[in-house]
Amino acid sequence: MNPKMIHRVAIATWILSGACLFGISDLISHFGDSARVVWSVYAWTIWVLGVFLMLIPSTLGLVIVRTITPLAVVGACAGFFIDSVPGIWLIGFVFTVASLIVVFSAEFGHVFVNGSAYGDEIRFLLRPPVQYLLPVTIAWLLLVVPVTAVGACLASKQWLPAVVGALFAIPIAPLMTARLGKLSTRWLVLVPAGLVIHDKMVLAETVMFRRLKVGDIQLAPANTEAADLTGVTWGIPLQVNVSDGDKIIFRPDKEHPNGRAIHVYGMLVAPSRPGLFIASWKR
Instruction: Report the C-alpha gap between 194 and 211 in whole angstroms.
Output: 4
**Full 3-state SS string of 169-202:** HHHHHHHHHHHHHHHHHCEEEEECCEEEEECCCC
Instruction: Report the C-alpha gap between 94 and 88 in whole angstroms.
Output: 10
Q: Which of 108, 124, 118 is nearest to 69 (CA)?
A: 108
Spell out the domain ranges in the chain: 1-116, 197-282
Do residues 65 and 51 lie in contact, with contact meaning Cβ atoms separated by under 8 Å? no
Instruction: Report the C-alpha gap between 148 and 151 in whole angstroms.
Output: 5
Q: Give the pLDDT of the chain (283 residues) as one tens digit per residue.
A: 688 899 999 999 999 888 777 767 666 666 677 777 888 888 889 999 999 999 999 999 999 999 999 998 888 887 777 766 667 778 888 899 999 999 999 999 999 999 999 888 999 999 999 988 898 999 999 888 888 888 888 888 888 888 888 888 888 888 888 888 888 999 999 999 999 999 988 998 899 999 988 988 989 988 888 999 998 888 889 999 998 878 898 988 888 888 888 888 999 999 999 999 999 998 7
**pLDDT score for 30:** 64
Instruction: Report the C-alpha gap between 37 and 24 in whole angstroms.
Output: 10
Instruction: Report the C-alpha gap between 253 and 136 in whole angstroms.
Output: 19
Do residues 108 and 14 lie in contact, with contact meaning Cβ atoms separated by under 8 Å? no
User: Under 8 Å CB-to-CB from 226, ≥6 apart: which residues?
Assistant: 220, 239, 240, 241, 264, 265, 266, 267, 268
Q: What pTM was computed for the model?
A: 0.89
Single-letter amino acid code for the residue at 10: A
Instruction: Report the C-alpha gap between 83 and 40 in whole angstroms.
Output: 15
Tell me the C-alpha to C-alpha distance, in Å, between residue 262 and each of 226, 227, 243, 248: 11, 9, 15, 6
